[in-house]
Structure 1
Amino acid sequence: MKTKLYVVYGGKSVEHDISLKTARTVLGAVDESKFELHPIYIARDGRWCAPDAQGLAGAEAAERLVAEPAHDSEAASIGDILLRKLALPGKKVVLPLIHGSNGEDGTLQGLLEMLNVPYVGNGVLAAALTLDKAMSKLTLAQAGIRQVEHRAVLREQWLADERGCIAWLEDTIGYPCYVKPASLGSSIGINRCENRGELTAGIAEALQYDAKLVVERELPGREIQVAVMGNEEPIASLPGEFIHDNRFFDFASKYSDPRLQMSIPAEIGEALIGQVRALALQAYRTLGCEGLARVDFFLDRDGLLYLNEINALPGFTSASMYPVMWEKTDGTTYAKLIERLIDYAFTRHEARQSLSYERLAPC
C-alpha cells in the first residue's frame, strides 16, 4: 500500500505565494508509485481545504473550495480536513510547505504532534526558534557562535520612545544597518538604512509585519550558504553562494533577477569549506533542528565567518539553493531528497513512540 503524503501549503502568511511555488514543484516531483498525494491548501484567511492534485496549479480553484459551507470558519475547516483526510487509514506523513508565520513557526508542528502524525522538518521548539531571529541569535550566542552586532526592538519600546530607540541604535549599531522583521523570511520587510530618516522609515515598514524587529550592523563581505539534513547525526552539504552585483540581496533580487547565478561549491578554499560545514552543523544542533535547514553565513574580508541565520524551511523549488546544493554535493536528485526527508520524519516519529506519558513505578 502506498504511503499517504499530505502536502500542506499556502497559509496565513506574507510568504503565501512562495509556498504555492514550492508546493507545485514538490507535487510534480513526488514518485506517485510510492506515495498517494493529498494536497491540503490553507487560504490567506487561515481556512483549510483539500483540492485534488490537479487543482493545485491555480490557487483560484483552492480558494473556491474554501467557500464551501463546511469551511465557514478556521475551526470548521480544520475539523473537516482532519475527518476526511488525515483520518484515512494506512501509513501517512505530512510535508509542511508553509513559509513564515502560522506554518514554519511551530504552530502547525504543534498540531501535528497532538495528532501523533509523522511530519517532515523541524519540531515545535526548533521551528519557533529558527523563525524568530532575535531568539535564535540569543541561543546561538550562548553557544559561542560568532554573529554580527545586532539589537532587538519591540513595538511597545518603539511606540513609547521613538527618539530614544533611534539614539540607542545609532550609538550601538550605527550606519549602514539592516532592519528586519524578527519572524519573517524571503527578505520581506527588510531595509538597508544609511541615515536616521531611512532607519525610521525602515522600522515603520518592518513593524507592519512583526511586533519584534532585529536591527543589524552591515558587514561587508560575501554570503555563504550550507544545506543541512538529518536528526541525531545531521550532515552538511558543500557550501554555495549566489553571484550577484546587488548591494542588498532583497526580495526582487532573490526571485526576479535573471542575472542571478549559483556557485556550488563556493570558491572559498578547502580549509574554509570544512570550517563552514562544521559551523553549520554546530548551529543546527544548537537550535535542536531536525529534518532540514539551510544555514547562512557572512564571510568578511578578513576570512572570518559570522552566522547570519538558520532557515528551517528554505526555498524548495527545483532551482532553489537547498536542493541544488545536495545535488552538487552527493548527486541526490530532487525527488530522492524529498524521500530522504520523509525517511527522517518516520525515524523521528518512531523514536518518540517509545516515550511514556504516564508516571512509571520506580525501578
Structure 2
Amino acid sequence: MTQKKVIAVIFGGRSVEHDVSVLTGLQFLEALDPGRYEGLPIYVDPLGQWWTGAPLTRRSRYPLEEAPGDLTQVMLDLATPAAGRPQFVSFSKGLMGEKRTVIPFDLMVPAIHGSNGEDGSLQGLLDFADIPYAGCRTLGASATMNKVFAKKVAAQSGIKVLPELLLSRPEKGEFLDPETLKKQLQSAFGTVDYPFIVKPCNLGSSVGVGKADDIDGLVAALMSAFRMDSEVIVEPFVANLVEYNIAVRRSADDETITSAIERPLRDAELLDFKNKYLAGGTPGAPKLDTGPSEGMASLNRILNPDELTPVQESFIRESAACVFDALSLAGSVRVDFLCNGASGELWLNEVNTIPGSFAYFLWEAASTPLSFLALVSEIVEEGFRLSGGRLGETDTKTGGATIFMRS
C-alpha cells in the first residue's frame, strides 16, 4: 500500500491579510484528497510563531488565544534530515530534560496572502532549505507582488496597463508637501485630473485601496497607505469602473489554461477589501466546523458575464495567459482587469499568485469544469514536479571551487 504524502499547508502570517489567509488555508486542507494525502495544518500567528495541531482545522478556534495548550509550537528544520524528508521540530520538557520531536512532511503549500508569504520571502526560505513546495517559485512570487514591476512586464508584452506614479514613504519627521505632489502628478500624467486611486505597491489584492477627489484627499489616502507599505502607487481613476477577474494555471501537459471570467459585484464605488471579502456576510461565519468555508466564494459575482464582446474576452484570456508565462508562474493564479463600462476599454490591473480560496470557484465554472478537490491535487502534484531536482550537486569539487582542504 502506497504511503500517503503529508502536505503541510501554511497559513495566517504576519500580514494585514492574516484572517483571509486562515480561511484559504482551511479550505485547501478540507479539499485535500484523503485517499492520497494527509493534511498538516501549520498556522503562523501575528507574532510570527508557528503552530500545529488538529484544532487548527476548526474555524471556531480563531482568533488564537495566547500560549494555547492544545497546540504544538514548531520550527522549520532548515537542515537536510538524514531521512531525506523535510521536517518540523518541536521541543518540550520531559523527565530526562528537553524532549525533541520531529514532524516530517513531503510538500509545503503556501496559503499566506500578501506580505511574508505571497511576496517570495517564504518561497526563498523553502528554496534555501531545498524543501518542496507548491505554487509560484521565488522569482514569480516576488515579481508579481510588486505591482509596478508586474505592470512593466505586462506592458513589455504588449498588454495595456494604466500609467502610475510611484511614491516612497517620507522619512521620519518629514511630511507630504501638496505642492510637490501636484508637480509629481503633472510629470506622471501630464494633467492633474482628479479623482485618483491610491494603493500600496507591495500588498495583496484590494488592500489599502483609496480614492482621492482632491489634493487633501490624496494626502490622506497616501498617509493611510504608507502605514502598510513603504511604496505607494497613484493611478488615474477609471470612469464607469467594471472589474473582471480570471484564473490561470498550467496543466500537467504544460498547457496554459484559463478559467471562467467573473465580474465582481459591489455596493460601493471601489471594490476594496471590505467589498471583496465581506460581501454577503462575514466569510466563514456560517457552518463553522462543517464543510468548506466561503472566503472569496461568498463574494457576489457574475460568472462568465454575457456583456463581454469576443474581442474583450480574448484580451482578458490572452493577456492573463501571457503574463502568467512571462513571469513563469505556477499554481492557481488570479489576474485582475479594469474596464471602462461605457467605452469597453480594458487594462490589466494586477496579478495575485495566491488568490483568496485559490480561485477554485472560477475553475468550477470553467468551460471544462474542475472541482476544488481536483484543483488541489493538481496544485500539489505540480509542486512535486517543480521542486524535484531543483538543485544540482553542491560539493565544491564539482564546481572546481575548493579552497579549504577537506579530509
- TM-score normalised per structure 2: 0.78
Q: Is 1:127 equivalent to 2:141 in the alignment? A: yes
Q: Is 1:248 equivalent to 2:262 in the alignment? A: no
Query: What is the rounded CA distance, in whole Å, between the counterparts of 1:227 and 1:89 in structure 2?
Result: 32
Amino acid at match of 1:47: Q
Match of 2:242 among 222, 225, 230: 222
Query: What is the rounded CA distance, in whole Å, between the counterparts of 1:94 and 1:32 in structure 2?
Result: 16
Gap runs ≥5 in structure 1? none
Give how far 1:22 is off: 1.3
Q: Structure 1 residues 44, 275: CA separation in 2 closer, same or farther (over 3 Å shift)?
A: same
Q: Structure 1 residues 149, 66: CA separation in 2 closer, same or farther (over 3 Å shift)?
A: farther
Amino acid at match of 1:262: R
**What is the match of residue 235 of structure 1?**
257
Query: What is the rounded CA distance, in whole Å, between the counterparts of 1:161 and 1:186 in structure 2?
Result: 25
Amino acid at match of 1:93: L
Amino acid at match of 2:30: G
Gap runs ≥5 in structure 2? 79-86, 91-99, 282-298, 401-407
Q: Is the 8 A contact 2:162 2:347 kept in 1?
A: yes
Amino acid at match of 1:166: L
Give how far 1:217 is off: 0.6
Q: Structure 1 residues 123, 299: CA separation in 2 closer, same or farther (over 3 Å shift)?
A: same
If you compute each CA radius of gyration, which structure gives the higher value, 1 or 2? 2
Give how far 1:148 is off: 0.9
Query: What is the rounded CA distance, in whole Å, between the counterparts of 1:223 and 1:157 in structure 2?
Result: 35
**What is the match of residue 39 of structure 1?**
41
Q: Is 1:328 equivalent to 2:365 in the alignment? A: yes
Q: Is the 8 A contact 1:148 1:219 kept in 2?
A: no
Query: What is the rounded CA distance, in whole Å, between the counterparts of 1:66 and 1:124 in structure 2?
Result: 35
**What is the match of residue 303 of structure 2?**
264
Pairing 1:11-160 to 2, within 5 Å after superposition: 11-52=13-54, 56-57=58-59, 58-60=61-63, 63-65=66-68, 77-79=75-77, 82-83=88-89, 88=103, 92-156=106-170, 159=174
**What is the match of residue 163 of structure 1?**
178
Q: Is the 8 A contact 1:225 1:294 kept in 2?
A: yes
Give 3-state SS (helix, strand or coil) of 2:260's partner.
coil
Amino acid at match of 2:333: A
Aligned-pair identity (%): 28
Give how far 1:62 is off: 7.0
Give how far 1:287 is off: 2.1
Q: Is the 8 A contact 1:15 1:186 kept in 2?
A: no
Query: What is the rounded CA distance, in whole Å, between the counterparts of 1:148 and 1:83 in structure 2?
Result: 47
Aligned residues: 350
How large is the RMSD of aligned CA atoms in angstroms? 2.9
Give how far 1:343 is off: 1.4
Q: Structure 1 residues 53, 337: CA separation in 2 closer, same or farther (over 3 Å shift)?
A: farther
Query: What is the rounded CA distance, in whole Å, between the counterparts of 1:162 and 1:66 in structure 2?
Result: 51
Query: What is the rounded CA distance, in whole Å, between the counterparts of 2:335 and 2:160 in structure 1?
Result: 13
**What is the match of residue 344 of structure 2?**
303
**What is the match of residue 354 of structure 2?**
313
Give how far 1:134 is off: 2.1
Amino acid at match of 1:265: N
Amino acid at match of 2:322: Q
